[in-house]
Amino acid sequence: MDRDEIWKAIEAGRLAAADLLEGLSPKEWERPSLCAGWRVREVAAHLTLAPQTGLGRAVVELVRARGSFDRMIDGTARRKAVLPTGRIVEEIRLIAGSHRLAPGTTQFEPLLDVLVHTQDIAVPLGRHVPVPPVAGRAAADRVWSRGWPFHARRRLAGRRLVATDAEWEVGDGPRVELPMSEMMLLLIGRHPKRS
């Protein structure tokens, strides 16, 4: 995928996430997501943040989190999650076409973010949101090629990972065949639990 295609996929993913969220009941917004310790509400709030976080804001938030990247991500999402659900959906729609990146990231991070976090919401609610094959391949390649924070290549060593709905496979060993939506979750270390 070239840069323009990646940005188009990010926009489509954000709009798909907003559509999913818009159709949820108040109870579903409070359900646990696949992100440890986060409800659907916190995951949705997190999706609004990257395009709104410039370098100055990121430094302030990192200091507030006493230097912990994980604590910073958690705290910013929890603070944003207090907004009314309609406002969170509106903000996702407003940033859908934004090309702003959080400091230290490339366009692959918001692509991965929206693809995975949409699954984090959909899977425990029993909803099916397919991952577009080309976008899924680009995001999966990104996760496989880097170490931190997922360490997929190390964690999944000794297996041949094969997407069943996209032309993507990596690794050596016994085959693990999954649709790209489930493959993305496996690559980043999620343990899905369907409702």
Domain range annotation of the chain: 3-188
Q: 3-state class of 152 per DSSP?
A: helix
pTM of the model: 0.90
Stretch 60-77: mean pLDDT, rounded?
Answer: 73
Residue 98 has pLDDT above 80, yes or no: yes
4's tokens: 């323009």
Which pLDDT does position 8 carry in this prediction?
A: 98
Confidence band for 62, pLDDT divided at 50, 70 and 90: low
Confidence band for 134, pLDDT divided at 50, 70 and 90: very high
What's the CATH code, domain 3-188? 1.20.120
Residue range 160-195, pLDDT digits in tens: 999 999 999 999 999 999 999 999 999 999 976 544
Q: Are the CB atoms for 150 and 143 separated by under 8 Å?
A: yes
Stretch 107-128: mean pLDDT, rounded?
Answer: 96
Q: Which residue has the higher pLDDT, 75 or 96?
A: 96
Q: Are the CB atoms for 31 and 151 separated by under 8 Å?
A: no
Specify the residue for token string 């993913």. 13
Residue 110 has pLDDT above 90, yes or no: yes
Measured CA to CA, the distance from residue 170 to residue 26 in angstroms comes to: 40
Stretch 73-77: mean pLDDT, rounded?
Answer: 87
Stretch 128-155: mean pLDDT, rounded?
Answer: 95
Q: What DSSP string describes 88-141? A: HHHHHHHHTT-----TT--THHHHHHHHHHHHHHHGGGT---PPPHHHHHHHHH
